[in-house]
Structure 1
Amino acid sequence: MKIVIIGGTGLIGSKLVAKLSERGHEAVAAAPKTGVNTLTGEGLADALAGASAVVDVSNSPSFESQAALEFFQTSTGNLLAAEAAAGVGHHVALSVVGTERLISNGYFRAKIAQEKLIEGSSIPYSIVHATQFFEFVRGIADDATDGGVVRMAPVRFQPIAGDDVAEALAGVVLGAPLNGRVEVGGPDQVRMDTFFREALAVWDDPREVVTDPHARYFGSELEERSLVPGDDARLGRTRYSDWPGSK
C-alpha cells in the first residue's frame, strides 16, 4: 500500500516512514526538502498519485497565533483538496492531547481549526491526539525557566516516546478510518513538577524546580488534567527512565 507521510523527514515522520517500510508498504516521505510543499501545492499531485492513505505529521514553523493558524489552514486545505482529486481513502492527522482544553493558547486554537477542516472534508479520517514527546521535555523545562528556577504546575503529565507515537500512527493508518479521534500517551502518569524535579536531577542540571500552581505552559495556565488523555487512551510501552535520551 502506498502511504504518503506529510512531514516525513521530521522527528515523527521519519520514524513512521521506517516502520511502514519495514512492514512492506511504500512509505513516501513528503516535505519541502523532497519537493513537496503543502503551502504552495508544489509536488502534491505527483506525491499523492496512487496513494491509499496520507498521514500528516507536519507542524507550523512558528507557534505565533496567526502564523500557526495560517499554516494549518492553508496546508491542510491544500492537502485535503489534493487527496480528494487523487482518490485517497484515509487521512490521518497528528494532533495534541488537551487541544480543546487549552483554547487560550493561539497555537492550540490553530490545531482546532485544522481538525475542523479535516472533519468537514469528504475524506475518511482519523485524528491521533498524542501527549508531549520525550524528545521535547528539555524544551519544556527551558520554556518554564526564569533565571535559575524552573516553575512547574503540580498537574498530571504523561509524556510519550516519539517511537511509540510513530507506532501508534502506523497502527491507525493501517486500520479502517475512525472518522473520529484516538488518544495516545506514555505508560506512566505523574505530577509534572515531580517529573521535572527527578529529570533535572538525572541530567545533573543545577536549576531548581519550584512547584507553582500558576506556572504557565507555553503561556497557558494548566488544570489538573489539561495535558493527559482519558482512561481509554492507547499507551506506549517505553518508560522515560528506559528511554536513551533521558540521561
Structure 2
Amino acid sequence: MAGPLMRVAVIGGTGLIGTRVVQRLRTDGHDVVVASRATGVNSFTGEGLEEALREVETVIDTSNSSYLDEAGAIEFFYGSTLNLLNYGRAAGVKHHVALSVVGTDRLARNEGGYFAAKLAQEKLIETSAMPYSIVHATQFFEFIASIADAATRSGIVTLSRALIQPMAADDVADAVVRTALASPQGRIVEFGGPEQFRLEEVVRRQLALQNDTREVVADPLARYFGTQLDERDLLPGPDATLAPTRLADWLG
C-alpha cells in the first residue's frame, strides 16, 4: 500500500487475523513487531510490552480473550487494552487500532456477556487521549464452524433466525491494514461481507462442504454465544465498506 514506511506492532500477531496483517505489512515493506505470548509478549501482564513498542508508530490490536464469559473477558480486554494504551503513550505511539465486532453495542445492551467486554474495551480506547481507530468487522467465514460447534446439543445445531453478513479473514486483514496505514479516525469504521444470509443457511452450507451430517435447525429463541439476537444485530450499518469475497468463492 502507498504511504511512508512505518514501524508497527501487531498484538495477537500469531492469530488468525494477526498473521495475515503481519504478512501484508511486511509485503509492503513495513517494519513489523509480532507481539503475542508465542513471541514472549503478553499484553495482559505487560511482559515484554515495553520492548515490543519501542519506536513503534502504530499499534494494531487483533488479540482476543480465551474467555467467553463476561467477567473473564472483561478482565482480559480491560487489562490488556489499558496496558497497550499506557505503554503506547509512553513509547510515543501515534495510532492505536483495535479490531472489534459489528453490533458490539447492540449485543452488549441486549445480554452483556462477551460483547459487554468488547464494549468496555472500545469505551476505554475512546476515552483515552490516544489517537485511535476501531475496526468493526462482521464474523469471518473461518469462524462458521465454531458457530456450529457452540450451537450443537445432542448432535443437533440449533441456530437463531438472525441475519449475518460474513466476510473472509483475508478481507478483514485488508480492512485492518488499510485503516492502520491511514490517519487515525477517532471513531468506529465498519466492514462487512457482500452478502446477507440467515445464520442457519450459512452454517448448513459450511457443514455440507465438510460432509458433516449434523442436523441444522432454526429456532427464534436460540442464543448466539449466550446472547439473544434480534434479526439484524449482526449486520453492519449502511455506511459499511463491503468486502469483495463472496461465500461461494470462499467455499470453492
**What TM-score do you get using the length of structure 2 for normalisation?**
0.94
| 2:247 alignment partner in structure 1 | 240
What's the CA shift for 1:160?
1.0
Assess if the C-alpha contact under 8 Å between 1:105 and 1:219 holds in 2. no
Assess if the C-alpha contact under 8 Å between 2:10 and 2:61 holds in 1. yes
| 1:133 alignment partner in structure 2 | 140
Query: Does 2:55 align with 1:50?
Result: yes
| 1:100 alignment partner in structure 2 | 105
Within a 5 Å distance, the mapping from 1:136-215 to structure 2 comes to 136-215=143-222
Match 2:32 to one of 22, 27, 30: 27
Query: Does 2:15 align with 1:10?
Result: yes
Match 2:124 to one of 109, 112, 117: 117
Amino acid at match of 1:190: F
Secondary structure of the residue that 1:150 maps to in structure 2?
strand
Q: Which range moved further: 33-42 or 109-118?
A: 33-42
Amino acid at match of 1:101: R
List alignment gaps of at least 5 residues for structure 1: none
Secondary structure of the residue that 2:84 maps to in structure 1?
helix
Secondary structure of the residue that 1:102 maps to in structure 2?
helix
CA distance in 2, matches of 1:137, 1:7: 21
What's the CA shift for 1:150?
1.4
> What's the % identity of the aligned pairs?
55
The alignment yields a C-alpha RMSD, in angstroms, of: 1.2
Assess if the C-alpha contact under 8 Å between 2:145 and 2:206 holds in 1. no
Cα gap change, 1:156 to 1:48, in 2 (>3 Å): same
Q: Which range moved further: 158-167 or 230-239?
A: 230-239
What's the CA shift for 1:197?
2.6
What's the CA shift for 1:179?
0.1
Assess if the C-alpha contact under 8 Å between 2:7 and 2:57 holds in 1. yes
Query: Does 2:231 align with 1:224?
Result: yes
What's the CA shift for 1:230?
0.8
What's the CA shift for 1:30?
0.6
**What TM-score do you get using the length of structure 1 for normalisation?**
0.95
What's the CA shift for 1:44?
1.2
Secondary structure of the residue that 2:167 maps to in structure 1?
coil
What's the CA shift for 1:153?
1.9
